[in-house]
Chain A
Amino acid sequence: MLRLPPFDFYTPGSLAEVIELLAGEGPETRVVAGGTDLWPNMKRRHQKAERVVSLMAIPELAGIEGHNGELRLGSTTILDDIVRSREITERFPALARAVASISSPPLRYMGTIGGNICVDTRCTYYNQTEEWRRSIDYCMKEEGTICWVAPSSPRCWAHSASDSAPILCALGARVEMVSKRGDRILPLTDFYRDDGIDYLDKAPDEVVARILIPSDSDSARCGSSFWKLRRRGSIDFAVLSVAAAVWTDDGNRVTDARIYLGAVGSRPLPVAGLADCLEGRLLSEETISEAAALARKTATPMDNTDFQAQWRGVMAARYTEAALREIAGLDPRGLPPQHLL
């Protein structure tokens, strides 16, 4: 079987200890929580580490709590606990649905929400063993020079693989990071960069401590939906996801709308032009179709995961339509087989 290479492993018991351990460290020191991303990546040798620092022995990093309506998710909160949290299923049902769609039950018992928002970008040329990658002379993301998805491209096209990220972006979540150099909070949308390699605005010495979801995105005020496309009813990463959040006034006219597409770009992609399209209008067959067309334009599916890329673009429109129809209380016409949700 594939084995982990040797490394030094640390299990500090407090956040203060972690910060101290990470101070001044570079990319050869990595943080691990549930390990469902890092360990397989290290076994395949496309992520490397000399030192790995676990966050799982730090009680203060886990937990779900409300604070003046804002929801605070500790970064090492186990995914399965999020799915089972009444606070989340009732107040942020689309987030619960997105997290419930991550991989399979055994991985949701191990994986954490902080790990999921930081999950490495993926690509068919990258998520392979050392020997396989030697056979293509590696790729731009690790040890090589060419992005085989688009060989003339100066950038890496690995795609965002987080199921929670698109919906958290749509809900206006912020991320709180701590380090010896100081704490900072930034909108999750700014946490992600449009580059398959340098995909996070996070330094090696920084630890994601919490994710903050504003009260304004509570289901009492905001309609939200999440649709995930994958081959099978479990296990698979998304090949496309659509996360939508819509705010309306008393007359059901849209006051704000955000749609983020997952797995069709190196970060969760905001659907461009959505505000102009929807604001001040009712969610109707017509406006929903227009929004779906915008999603189709936004999506940049590449041939770097399962399913034909062009068809994933078609599906970006269909799933956007379905997500908005669901929010509008319409039958999500052309509902795909249930198990794909």
Chain B
Amino acid sequence: MAEPSDGKQRDESLDLPGRHIGQPFRRVDGRAKVTGTTRFADDLHFPRLCHLKLVRSTLPHARIKAIDFSSAADVPGYLGSLTGRQMPHPFGILPVSEDEHALCIEKVRYVGDPVAAVAATSEEAAYEAALRVEVEYEPLDTIDGIDTALAADLDRIHDYGDGNNIHKKVSMRFGDLEAGFAEADLELEDTLFYEGNTHLAMEQHATVAVAEDEDRVTVYSSTQTPHYVHRALAKVLELPPSRIRVIACSNGGGFGGKSDVFNHEIVAAKMALELGRPVRITLNREEIFYCHRGRHPTLMHLRTGFKKDGSMTAQHLRTALDGGAYGSYGVASTYYTGALQTVTYDLPRYRFDGVRCFTNKPPCGPKRGHGTPQPRFGFEVHLDKAAEKLGIDPADLRLRNLAEPGSVTANWLQLGTIGLRRCIEAVVAGSGWRERYGRLPHGRGLGLACGSYLCGAGLPIYWNHMPQSGVQLKLDRSGGVAVFCGEAEIGQGSDSVLAAVVAEVLGIDLADIRLCVADTDLTPVDLGSYSSRVTLMVGHAAHQAAERARKLIAQAVAKRLEVPRERLIFAERRVFDAADPEKGLSFEDAVTVAEAKWGTLGTTGSYIPPRAPGKYRGAGVGPSPTYSYSAAVVEVEVDPETGLYRPDHVWIAHDIGRSINPVLVLGQVEGSVYMGLGEAMMEEQAFRALPRHLSSALVHKTPSLLEYKSPTFHDMPPVTSYLIEDPDPQGPFGAKEVGQGPLLPVPPALANAIYDAVGVRIDQVPIQPQMILKALDEKSRGRQARYGPKVFPEVDFGEILRVLTPAEGGDGHALNEHGEKKAHGMSGADGTMSSRDEALKDKDGAVTTK
């Protein structure tokens, strides 16, 4: 019963008209959300609930000398305190960088780093007590950015990594790059910068921990990844996982910002166990900016060879990431700034060098698009410049270079269906591109860009052979179906997808389904809501579980009705004979018959992604069952006298494979456009240093919803969305992802549109009006009409990992030190699996995420 499905044998479902699938049904949690009955973590109440507050570092980098709670303990209502020494085990979302502690022990590493905790009977008392905790520090050097991090002879933030304050270096080469550049008619180089920004989910992180009986604890939390929280709690609390129950409440938005394990979750659980009473903590907005895990500020350098016809011969991409103070998903983020460069266009030879630095800032991590919006911005602006130099329309340049569906890329990613041609055609037609691009009056312009993204990471973030998603069904004589799954609803609609898949297969209504999700005691493991994996992986697992239930019911009904099993139809809450639709049973009666025949009914389904062809170190990041594609055109109005600009319209097309629910898909597309515009126009997770001779402070510039600028309704232009449906055999009912991909083309399309409008290149985001003015001024002086970074820092990326491409006859493995293929070729079925293990186990490269 537990054999995992590889998702390959479902082609017959792709073309069926759906009763639910493909229909704009109301989301199953919609009514509760709009009426306010959804209970978020902060809404939970328990008898004797007390309140937790974290004391956070006020220095960017310092050794902790002493912590004094004596004044805090005088606050009426004070209940107790914790320090890091009471939770000595490190944790971290990736096994390769478990560098965090629930509370800092030896050092603090950024302003906001939690160093102690207090609990009290009211939130006010907890806050007052926290203010009174006195921490004595010994300051260390402040590392404020990539350049300082690369420098030698400064205090190190961590004692692991790749030297100085470098967390991770990556260097890989796929194919004979120099031969590629030698073939090129045009070689283009660009240096670009993408500023960091944060998720800005509306719900502030909240956790309630309830001490149950002896040494058991239940943790309710706003988290995208209850399974990973469960594992980390077991480790840090030194309790068997069976004594810890994690329940992910409905999340008021996640976007990757709730996919790490956070200090406050662990400390709340520990405090609940210490005090023997329920503990709640809801972070304030400023603290969310300190949790962060958002977009890495990334400096990029691209060098690409083009032939006259626009085809690409080779690309060398270098990225430098400002990672902040901890590892988080950073190793994966670093790989992701390189991994998906090859899946959109045919890129026969490719080299990627990446470096992630530690700095004294809140840690960066996965935000919508995880590591890929930065190089996508770079690539698509770079292509716009190439198109101009080659005299090819930017849309045509892309159309000529589209990757081949079903092919394996230079870096050994297996592609699936590719709807990008139709995406480009849709936005080109919708925007009037052919008639208007390059022909609008000065101050008005159009820009085009594309993107693509994972439909679920191929590998889990810790090494294991088990399913990445599991679903359990319980059916009984009531006719209701209970669906159990570890997935976490973060507003994206995953509950609705889960319910719709089961309802579709069993021919019942959404109202017949009762969901139980994201509860580590009750639901089978799903890895979480990250990497755009839920629709695809949970969808497959649910499909399998429902098919199995359908089979059990069909067998029983076939016998009762004396009809061949193959002729039975499940629809309209009935099971009936296709040849004689009057002959049948209600679903309730059908389940009753099955329960009588088989005993208590339950089925399971699970999913493991297909094996990826890449076997080299680092091949774990990038593989996915298939990829989604998007194209966008932005129209912008720019005032050349002030540099102020306004996007007037966005046309966006997304290759969704097949919509499970087109309304939810459109919501994700529009939300991605909104978020992409925010990153392109104004959002900055920026920091302020004070004059060096006066202070070593390094503080977040704008840790509030008022001053961290994100667009309002007024700033959002009209959006025309096109859903390109071409069912992908790898997706459940042909579905691909939509949660992240549509963000990717938006920032470069805006930058390209500004160029069309006023003829200046802004090679960094967010694009500020003074940058446009400055570039226009440069242009008027006959200098380069550009604003952006000028140099990429000198980095020794170390030894290059060399891999032959499929076209060069490679086998997916890296070459050995003599430039020869390693002896891997003879593995059978078992051998393939061990290669997979190798990729998983490899401590340098084997991790994956959103």
Interface residues of chain A, those whose CB is within 8 Å of chain B, are: 1-3, 5-6, 124, 127-132, 134-137, 146, 148, 151, 231-236, 306-308, 310-311, 314-315, 318, 333-337, 339-340
How many angstroms from the CA of A196 to the CA of B780 in the assembled complex? 39
- Which residue of A is nearest B681, CB measured? A231
For this complex, 22 residue pairs linking A to B, each with C-beta atoms less than 8 Å apart, are: A2-B284, A5-B124, A124-B701, A129-B284, A131-B131, A132-B286, A134-B58, A136-B695, A136-B699, A146-B694, A151-B691, A231-B682, A232-B682, A232-B709, A232-B715, A307-B769, A311-B768, A311-B769, A334-B640, A336-B642, A337-B646, A339-B646
- Which residue of A is nearest B708, CB measured? A306
A332 CB, nearest partner CB in chain B, Å: 11
A241 CB, nearest partner CB in chain B, Å: 15
Q: A3-B124, A151-B691, A315-B642 given as contacts; is B131 within 8 A of A232 (CB)?
A: no
Residues from chain B with Cβ under 8 Å of A337 in the complex: 637, 639, 644-646
Which residue of B58, B204, B694 contacts A135 across the interface (Cβ within 8 Å)? B58
How many angstroms from the CA of A27 to the CA of B643 in the assembled complex? 44
Residues from chain B with Cβ under 8 Å of A306 in the complex: 707, 709
How many angstroms from the CA of A24 to the CA of B337 in the assembled complex? 65
Interface residues in B388-445 (C-beta closer than 8 Å to A): none
B642 and A334: CB pair below 8 A?
A: yes
How many angstroms from the CA of A300 to the CA of B700 in the assembled complex? 25
- Which residue of B is nearest A237, CB measured? B706
Most B CB contacts (10 A, CB to CB) among A5, A232, A335 go to A232
Residues from chain A with Cβ under 8 Å of B713 in the complex: 233-234
Most B CB contacts (10 A, CB to CB) among A127, A136, A236, A339 go to A136
Q: How many inter-chain contacts with C-beta < 8 Å in the A-B complex? A: 103
14 additional contacts, CB 8 Å, given A311-B643, A334-B639, A336-B644?
A: A1-B282, A2-B284, A124-B707, A129-B284, A134-B58, A135-B111, A136-B697, A148-B690, A151-B690, A151-B694, A310-B770, A311-B770, A334-B642, A337-B639
How many angstroms from the CA of A15 to the CA of B624 in the assembled complex? 71
A231 and B694: CB pair below 8 A?
A: no
B737 CB, nearest partner CB in chain A, Å: 30
Residues from chain B with Cβ under 8 Å of A5 in the complex: 124, 128
A1 and B123: CB pair below 8 A?
A: yes
| B213 lies within 8 A of chain A by Cβ | no
B703 and A308: CB pair below 8 A?
A: no
A318 and B641: CB pair below 8 A?
A: yes
Contact with A along B120-151 (1 / 0, CB 8 A): 00011001100100000000000000000000
- Which residue of A is nearest B641, CB measured? A334
B697 and A3: CB pair below 8 A?
A: no
How many angstroms from the CA of A5 to the CA of B770 in the assembled complex? 41
| B788 lies within 8 A of chain A by Cβ | no
Residues from chain A with Cβ under 8 Å of B701 in the complex: 124
Q: A311-B770, A314-B642, A339-B715 given as contacts; is B637 within 8 A of A135 (CB)?
A: no
How many angstroms from the CA of A339 to the CA of B703 in the assembled complex? 24
Q: A1-B284, A231-B682, A311-B643 given as contacts; is B703 within 8 A of A132 (CB)?
A: yes
B286 and A135: CB pair below 8 A?
A: no
How many angstroms from the CA of A236 to the CA of B708 in the assembled complex? 11
Residues from chain B with Cβ under 8 Å of A129 in the complex: 284, 286
Residues from chain A with Cβ under 8 Å of B699 in the complex: 132, 135-136
- Which residue of B is nearest A312, CB measured? B770
Residues from chain A with Cβ under 8 Å of B762 in the complex: none
How many angstroms from the CA of A20 to the CA of B688 in the assembled complex? 46
Most B CB contacts (10 A, CB to CB) among A135, A148, A310 go to A135
B468 CB, nearest partner CB in chain A, Å: 36
The 4 closest A-B pairs by CB, nearest first: A233-B714, A337-B646, A311-B770, A334-B641
- Which residue of A is nearest B56, CB measured? A131
How many angstroms from the CA of A129 to the CA of B58 in the assembled complex? 12
Interface residues in B804-821 (C-beta closer than 8 Å to A): none
Residues from chain A with Cβ under 8 Å of B697 in the complex: 135-137
B648 CB, nearest partner CB in chain A, Å: 9
A233 and B712: CB pair below 8 A?
A: yes
A231 CB, nearest partner CB in chain B, Å: 5
- Which residue of B is nearest A230, CB measured? B709
Residues from chain A with Cβ under 8 Å of B131 in the complex: 130-131
Contact with A along B156-171 (1 / 0, CB 8 A): 0000000000000000
Which residue of A131, A136, A318, A335 contacts B690 across the interface (Cβ within 8 Å)? A136
A231 and B709: CB pair below 8 A?
A: yes
| B773 lies within 8 A of chain A by Cβ | yes
A314 and B58: CB pair below 8 A?
A: no
Interface residues in B684-700 (C-beta closer than 8 Å to A): 688, 690-691, 694-695, 697, 699-700
A56 CB, nearest partner CB in chain B, Å: 24
How many angstroms from the CA of A233 to the CA of B700 in the assembled complex? 24
| B84 lies within 8 A of chain A by Cβ | no
B394 CB, nearest partner CB in chain A, Å: 25
A110 CB, nearest partner CB in chain B, Å: 15
B706 and A235: CB pair below 8 A?
A: yes
Most B CB contacts (10 A, CB to CB) among A1, A146, A234, A333 go to A1
| B711 lies within 8 A of chain A by Cβ | yes
Residues from chain B with Cβ under 8 Å of A307 in the complex: 768-770
Contact with A along B361-386 (1 / 0, CB 8 A): 00000000000000000000000000
Residues from chain A with Cβ under 8 Å of B704 in the complex: 128
| B59 lies within 8 A of chain A by Cβ | yes
How many angstroms from the CA of A227 to the CA of B743 in the assembled complex? 34
Residues from chain A with Cβ under 8 Å of B59 in the complex: 135
B58 and A131: CB pair below 8 A?
A: yes
Residues from chain A with Cβ under 8 Å of B640 in the complex: 334
Interface residues in B261-306 (C-beta closer than 8 Å to A): 282, 284, 286
B86 CB, nearest partner CB in chain A, Å: 22
Residues from chain A with Cβ under 8 Å of B642 in the complex: 314-315, 318, 334, 336
- Which residue of B is nearest A129, CB measured? B286
- Which residue of B is nearest A318, CB measured? B642
B77 CB, nearest partner CB in chain A, Å: 12
B51 CB, nearest partner CB in chain A, Å: 10
- Which residue of B is nearest A235, CB measured? B712
A314 and B644: CB pair below 8 A?
A: no
Residues from chain B with Cβ under 8 Å of A340 in the complex: 644
Residues from chain A with Cβ under 8 Å of B690 in the complex: 136, 148, 151
- Which residue of A is nearest B55, CB measured? A131
B68 CB, nearest partner CB in chain A, Å: 15
How many angstroms from the CA of A124 to the CA of B56 in the assembled complex? 20
- Which residue of A is nearest B647, CB measured? A337
Contact with A along B642-678 (1 / 0, CB 8 A): 1111100000000000000000000000000000000
Residues from chain A with Cβ under 8 Å of B56 in the complex: 131
A308 and B768: CB pair below 8 A?
A: yes
Residues from chain B with Cβ under 8 Å of A131 in the complex: 56, 58, 131, 286
- Which residue of B is nearest A338, CB measured? B646
A50 CB, nearest partner CB in chain B, Å: 16
How many angstroms from the CA of A307 to the CA of B773 in the assembled complex? 13
A314 and B773: CB pair below 8 A?
A: yes
Residues from chain A with Cβ under 8 Å of B706 in the complex: 235-236
A311 and B773: CB pair below 8 A?
A: yes
How many angstroms from the CA of A334 to the CA of B768 in the assembled complex? 17
- Which residue of B is nearest A233, CB measured? B714
How many angstroms from the CA of A62 to the CA of B286 in the assembled complex? 36
B712 and A232: CB pair below 8 A?
A: yes
How many angstroms from the CA of A87 to the CA of B194 in the assembled complex? 50
How many angstroms from the CA of A307 to the CA of B704 in the assembled complex? 16
How many angstroms from the CA of A307 to the CA of B715 in the assembled complex? 16
Residues from chain A with Cβ under 8 Å of B111 in the complex: 132, 135
How many angstroms from the CA of A339 to the CA of B639 in the assembled complex? 14
B288 CB, nearest partner CB in chain A, Å: 11
How many angstroms from the CA of A134 to the CA of B286 in the assembled complex? 14
How many angstroms from the CA of A151 to the CA of B127 in the assembled complex? 31
Residues from chain B with Cβ under 8 Å of A311 in the complex: 643, 768-770, 773
How many angstroms from the CA of A2 to the CA of B640 in the assembled complex? 42
A234 and B127: CB pair below 8 A?
A: no
Residues from chain A with Cβ under 8 Å of B712 in the complex: 232-235
Residues from chain B with Cβ under 8 Å of A308 in the complex: 768, 770
How many angstroms from the CA of A314 to the CA of B123 in the assembled complex? 46
